[in-house]
Amino acid sequence: MIKEHKPFAQPIYVTRPILPNLEELTEKLKEVWESKWLTNNGPQHQLLEEKLRQLLKVPYLSLFNNGTIALITACQSLRLSGDVITTPFTFPATPHVLSWNNIKPIFCDIDPNTMNIDANKIESMITPQTTGILAVHVFGTPCDVIKIQEVADRYGLKIIYDAAHAFGVEIRGEGIGNFGDISMMSFHATKLFHTAEGGALTFQDKNLKLRIDLLKNFGIKNEDEVVMPGINGKMNELQAILGLINLNYFEQEREKRKLLTETYRQCLRDVEGVSFLDDSPEVKSSYQYFVIRIHEKAFGRSRNEVYSEFKRYNIFTRKYFYPLCSDYTCYRHLPSSSPTNLPVAQEVVQQVLSLPLYGELSVSDVEKICDILKSFRRKSH
Ligand SMILES: *Cc1c(COP(=O)(O)O)cnc(C)c1O
């Protein structure tokens, strides 16, 4: 017996941003207006930096105007050059920041379970040109930080983590921003915590704080000295107040997303041909995305078919992160981009589908999305 489902009356997108109470924002705006200080390390910026430093449990944090500029600056601050090993299964910003630093991305295959860079394969990609590793905590799932550190230590490599999806993630109570040399968080509107556009770097080294803060402000040391070729990476006061207010909302948003994620898992647990990651007891999750994998043989439909079918019900899922970065025209000529070097990534990228996940969805919305997904399945004989 097949139950008929009506499409959702309103389109259901993969995510929606936290939007704070407008009066609350107006109150804060008045403060900024009265101060007449709109950017350049203003009082709101200083306050947000300190609050985030405590929340993320990191010794040092520098705010940025977006996550991509933060990541470009991170590469500069560590003086990376030559080749850097990274993952093909990520947002375009990750390999692009290497290109913008004149660094060649070297694509390493991913782990079939976590979909993060495969720590066991990094060593085989190292050459005399390699200076660092740029790994991504994909969908907020932590990389194998211990093994990556071991490899880096053995070869004297720097580690940068793209932690854009990992806001508030902790491993055994330790803030995710404490691993590697530098971690980048993105505060883009699509992220769990946001400042419309924005980002931050976190790190352990006090000297890096000086260097990174110089680099994000044109290298200006004082009125008489410009000491390095910096960039404009500064977060402004309007972004900072949005962040300060959203700090009061994000924990509630994360709790709602946790409940919805548990609902998805419960509804989809026994569906043949659909798989997903469970929470690890050691990890506090960001619930940034809920991603399933469609196994075409067992499900009887491909991921692309499921994606298209969902649209007929007014449900707009996303094929994150399709296509692989190694298949972009600007990177596919690289030897490491060869599909034979990336068999796991090539398979995973055909399976993944991000389902809608944001606090305003109801449990019954999620149950309906799951029922609709189940109705797509074609049983084999
Ligand atoms: C969002 C995102 C970025 C870029 O951050 P912006 O703040 O949008 O510049 C980088 N890497 C990953 C994995 C992302 O999801």
Residue 94 CA: which ligand 1 atom is closest?
11
Distance (Å) of CA 206 to CA 29, 60, 162, 181, 212: 32, 7, 20, 12, 10
Q: Mutate which of 63, 96, 117, 188 to test ligand 1's pocket (most atoms within 8 Å of Cβ)?
A: 188
> Which of 196, 211, 246 represents a domain boundary (last residue)?
246
Bridge-partner residues for 275, per DSSP? 293
Shared domain for 34 and 179, answered yes or no, is: yes
Determine the distance separating the centroid of ligand 1 and the alpha carbon of 67, expressed in angstroms: 6
Please give the Cα distance from 107 to 120 (Å, whole number): 14
Rg of the chain over Cα atoms, rounded to whole angstroms, equals 22
Residue 103 near residue 81, CB atoms below 8 Å:
yes
Tokens read off for 339: 């599909």
Judgement on whether residues 220 and 276 belong to the same structural domain of the protein = no
Domain co-membership, 223 together with 285: no
How many folded domains does the chain comprise?
2
Looking at residue 381, its pLDDT comes to 52
Tell me how far the alpha carbon of residue 162 lies from the centroid of ligand 1, in angstroms.
Answer: 8
Q: Which residues line ligand 1 (CB under 6 A)?
A: 66-68, 90-91, 93-94, 136, 162, 164-165, 186, 188, 199
For the chain, give the number of residues.
Answer: 381
CATH classification at residue 288: 3.90.1150.10
Model pLDDT, residue 3: 64
Residues 140, 265 within the same domain? no
Question: Considering the domain boundaries, does residue 170 fall inside one?
Answer: yes
The predicted structure's pLDDT at residue 353: 98
State the residue range of the domain holding 340: 250-376
Q: Are residues 240 and 265 located together in one domain of the fold?
A: no
User: Per the domain annotation, does 307 fall within a domain?
Assistant: yes
Cis check for the bond before 343: say yes or no (omega within 30 of 0): no
Whether residue 2 has pLDDT greater than 90: no
Percent residues over pLDDT 70 in the chain: 99
Q: What is the pLDDT of residues 231-282, one digit of tens each?
A: 999 999 999 999 999 999 999 999 999 999 999 999 999 999 999 999 999 9
Domain match, 100 and 234 both: yes
Which residue do the tokens 């030897």 mark? 335
Last residue of a domain, one of 199, 223, 246: 246
Question: 16 in a domain, yes or no?
Answer: no
pLDDT of residue 4: 77
CA-angle at 253, arms to 251 and 257, nearest 5°: 115
pTM value surpassing 0.95: yes
Domain check: are 301 and 202 in the same one? Answer: no
Phi, psi values for residue 104, rounded to 5°: -90, 120
User: Which CATH number fits the domain that encloses residue 163?
Assistant: 3.40.640.10
**Ligand 1 atom with least separation from CA of 67:** 7
Shared domain check, 331 and 208: no
* Strands ordered across the beta sheet of 290-294: 274-275, 290-294, 352-355
Tens of pLDDT, residues 104-127:
999 999 999 999 999 999 999 999
- Res 379: pLDDT: 80
| Whether residues 131 and 156 fall in one domain | yes
Task: Tell me the pLDDT of the chain averaged across its residues.
Answer: 97
List, edge to edge, every strand of the sheet that includes 104-107: 60-64, 199-203, 182-186, 158-162, 130-136, 83-86, 104-107
Q: What are the tens digits of pLDDT across the range 278-300?
A: 999 999 999 999 999 999 999 99
For tokens 């991913």, name the residue: 110
Question: Do 227 and 284 have their domain in common?
Answer: no
pLDDT tens across 317-376, in order? 999 999 999 999 999 999 999 999 999 999 999 999 999 999 999 999 999 999 999 999
C-alpha distances (whole Å) from 235 to each of 24, 51, 213, 336, 346 are 20, 15, 11, 36, 37
In a domain, residue 143? The reply is yes
